[in-house]
Every structure is written in structure tokens, then in C-alpha cells.
Amino acid sequence: MKALKKRILGSCCGAHILHDGYTDLLYVMFPIWQMAFGLSLAEVGSLKTLYSGAMASLQVPSSMLSEKVGEKRLLLFGTLIAAIGFLLSGWTTSFLGLAACLILSGIGASVQHPLSSSLTSHAFEGSELRGALSTYNFSGDIGKVLLPSLCAALLAVWDWHTVTSVMGLLGLLAVMFLAVVLPKTTVTNHSKTQLNKASSDTSGKGAGSNFLNLGFISLSSIAAIDSATRMGFLTLLPFLLMSKGATVTQVGFALSLTFAGGAAGKFVCGFIAARFGVIKTTLITEIATSILMALTLPLNVDVVMLMLPLVGVALNGTSSGLYGTVPELVPPHMRSRAFGVFYTVTIGSGAISPLVYGFVGDRLGVPNTIALIAGSLLMVLPLTLGLKKVFRRLQV
């Protein structure tokens, strides 16, 4: 049983590494494509919108489809589509062709988060679940470092057509790996009778017969605010540092420090939530994030640089505790659909917030906008009351 669980978690982590790596290697490719096709910044931005839009909009449909065709089968198919999109992008000779390839890859990438999370949550239960989901969450950060770095290194010796084709071939290898390693049995801790009983027990104690209950809505709302805050702050952070006299090299190093802290925060905070509960963990990390963001405004650039790893821990740490709680608030047989909705909300809010905060920044200035972002985090405080009410009911 333990070996089966490890295979499931290892497979889901492998899929997460690939898909998150695909998403972030786009940032390496954008300047190359801009020069290759003579694109404006708006056209470059539209490529990211098309990819992320396809990925975010199909989270729920993919989770619903998995209930009919199976999570493993759909995860393999989605990964295959994502890989083919990158493989074909190496052959494209036009902006429209490239856009079509990225839409195709975004469609394939839409299956990974909800299905991998669901597979992991079915394999692990109780005290093991948060740790497993935290490990899965952390694996995505590995992909965000590995694939963009590999892509940048290959661009030094090959042209971009070859590099994107190689990224596609890497995805095809991942599909073969997942097909062999990911077991057919996805629910290891419950028989069908136990699952039905768990669903009945959950609905009887306040989570409801579906996932649209007070607890899940409160959790998703907190996650949306957290995601919007994170993306908005990271978008404006380079401009804040440069206003304090930081060079472009220092800005790049500062972002690396923040991301490193974020990766550690995702990993550690999942286990903290398992020990102290999601409500206390959320309050601690969000209040800490708000304070640390505010402190970046008056302090000089050297002190801010020293703070950034800690900022990253608080900024990213909340997410592990939040989405690790999804299985506790929904019936087991509806976890795929619940994760689909959850990721749609979080990815969607994270995609919109840079545009909103950028618009505000143009009018109020970067420091005032960051202060606004820090203050907006306090909106999560009343939302935790909804979670507290549901957990009390579940303990009855």
C-alpha cells in the first residue's frame, strides 16, 4: 500500500514539474519570439493570456470529464496535448501559428492541477494528506526552476525552433513515464462503501452533498485574494526596487530570493497547517505577508533584499494550507470537480490582478499601490469565520 501511494504521489509530482515548467519557460521564450516575429509588447502579452486563459477556463470541464473517462487517462491525454503544442511550436513560422500552438498547450495543461490534486487526495487520507499535497505543491516550484533554466541553456547552442521542439519531446517522454508509473488504482484508502459512507458523513456534518458549501466558498475566496495579492505584488516589486536604486541584475537576484523563499514556504506551511490547522496558519501567514509588504516601502534596498526570502515564505506559504484543506470540505467523490473550481478561481484571480494593480499603479504610484495590496490581505480575516463555523460543525 505504501509503495502504491508513493507511485501515485511521484507520478503527480512529475506531472506538476512538467506542466509548471512549461508555463514558466514561456517567460524565457517571449523575448526570442518578440524578435523573431517583430511583435509588440501587447502581442507578447496576448500569448501569455491565450495560454493562461485556455488553462484556467478548462479546469472545471476537465475535472468533470475525468469523472467519466478516469483521472489517469485524462491526465495522460492532457499532458500529451500540452507536449504536442510545444512540439508543433518549433515548426511554426507565424505569430498566429504560435498563438494556436500555445492555446493547444494551454488546453492540455488545464487537466494537471485538478486531476493530480484529486489523485493525491484519494491516495492519502488523514494526517498524511496535507504532507502529500504540500510535497506535490512544492514539486511545481522545482519545474519552475528546472525547465526555464534548461531552456535558457539550450538557447545558447540551438535556435528557438529546436529548443521548443525538444521541450515537446520532453513532454512525450513524461507521458510514457506517467503511463507506466501511475497505477490504474487511484483510490487506495477506501472501498466504494467507505467512500459512500464518507460522503454521507460529510454531507451530514455541514459540507453538503456537493462542494458548493460555506466552507468551500470561504476557502476559495481566501485563495482568490491570496493569489491576486501574490501576483500583484510580484508584478510591482521590480519597479519598487528600481525606485530605490536597484540595478537590473539586483532585481533579478531579488526575484530569485523571493521565489526560493516561496518554494520553501509552500513545502513547510503544508506541514504547519497539518499541525496547527488551516485557520491559524492562514491568519499567521497572511498577517505576516501584509506586514512584510508594508515594511518594503520605507526600508532601503539592501535591507529589503535581506527580507525577500522571508517575504516569499509568507507570500507563498498560505497556498499549501489552503488547497490542502479542499478534501476536508467536499465529499470524496466530488474532489476532482471541487479542485477544478478551486484552481479556476485562484488562477483566474492571479491572471487578472496584475492588470488591475498595474492600472492602479499608473494612477497612484507603485508605493501606494503596494500599500493597497498589503491592506487588501486583511479581507481574509472575516472570511476565516466561515471556515471556523464549518470546522466546528464537522467536529460535532
- For position 320, what pLDDT does the model report? 67
User: Rounded to 5 degrees, what are φ and ψ at 296?
Assistant: -70, -15
In the block, residue with C-alpha cell 460529510: 202
Q: Which residues have a Cβ under 8 Å from the Cβ of 226 and sit 6 or more positions away?
A: 286, 318, 319, 322, 346, 377, 380
Instruction: List the grid coordinates of 323.
Output: 488547497
In the block, residue with C-alpha cell 501511494: 5
C-alpha dist (Å) from residue 259 to 31, 74, 99, 233, 351: 21, 31, 28, 13, 18
Higher pLDDT, 127 or 384: 384
Decide if 288 contacts 339 (C-beta within 8 A): no
d(C-alpha 10, C-alpha 124), whole Å: 13
- For position 88, what pLDDT does the model report? 95
Q: Is 38 helix (H, G, I), strand (E, B) or coil?
A: coil
Q: Is 251 helix (H, G, I), strand (E, B) or coil?
A: helix
Name the least confident of 169-178, 209-218, 261-270, 335-344. Answer: 209-218
In the block, residue with C-alpha cell 509588504: 293
**Residue 322 pLDDT class (50, 70, 90 cuts):** confident
Higher pLDDT, 120 or 63: 120
- For position 141, what pLDDT does the model report? 79
- For position 1, what pLDDT does the model report? 63
Is the pLDDT at 396 greater than 80, yes or no? no
Average pLDDT over residues 293-313: 91
Is the pLDDT at 130 greater than 50, yes or no? yes
Is the pLDDT at 86 greater than 90, yes or no? yes
Share of the chain above pLDDT 90, in %: 21
Is the pLDDT at 220 greater than 60, yes or no? yes
- For position 363, what pLDDT does the model report? 81
Is the pLDDT at 248 greater than 90, yes or no? no
d(C-alpha 387, C-alpha 394), whole Å: 11
Q: Which residues have a Cβ under 8 Å from the Cβ of 113 and sit 6 or more positions away?
A: 16, 19, 59, 339, 343, 347
Q: Which residue segments constitute the domains of the chain, with CATH numbers given?
A: 2-182 (1.20.1250.20), 195-395 (1.20.1250.20)
Please provide the distance, in angstroms rounded to a whole number, between the alpha carbons at the two ends of the chain: 31
**Residue 249 pLDDT class (50, 70, 90 cuts):** low
Decide if 48 contacts 106 (C-beta within 8 A): no
- For position 198, what pLDDT does the model report? 40
**What's the per-residue H, E or C state across 74-106?**
HHHHHHHHHHHHHHHHCCCCCHHHHHHHHHHHH
Average pLDDT over residues 268-291: 80
In the block, residue with C-alpha cell 478534501: 327
Tell me the residue length of the chain: 396
Residue 190: how many other CB atoms lie within 10 Å = 15
d(C-alpha 350, C-alpha 366), whole Å: 18
Is the pLDDT at 331 greater than 50, yes or no? yes
DSSP code of residue 170: H
Instruction: List the grid coordinates of 194.
Output: 467507505
Is the pLDDT at 206 greater than 50, yes or no? no
Instruction: List the grid coordinates of 141.
Output: 516550484
- For position 121, what pLDDT does the model report? 77
Most confident of 84-88, 307-311, 336-340: 84-88
pLDDT in tens, 348-359: 787 777 777 777
pLDDT in tens, 133-180: 778 877 887 887 788 778 878 888 899 999 999 999 999 999 999 998
- For position 201, what pLDDT does the model report? 43
d(C-alpha 251, C-alpha 246), whole Å: 6
- For position 324, what pLDDT does the model report? 67
d(C-alpha 240, C-alpha 340), whole Å: 35
pTM higher than 0.75: no
Most confident of 97-101, 139-143, 197-201: 97-101
- For position 353, what pLDDT does the model report? 77
**Residue 272 pLDDT class (50, 70, 90 cuts):** confident
In the block, residue with C-alpha cell 517575504: 311
Is the pLDDT at 49 greater than 90, yes or no? no
**Residue 42 pLDDT class (50, 70, 90 cuts):** low
Name the least confident of 47-61, 70-84, 193-207, 348-362. Answer: 193-207
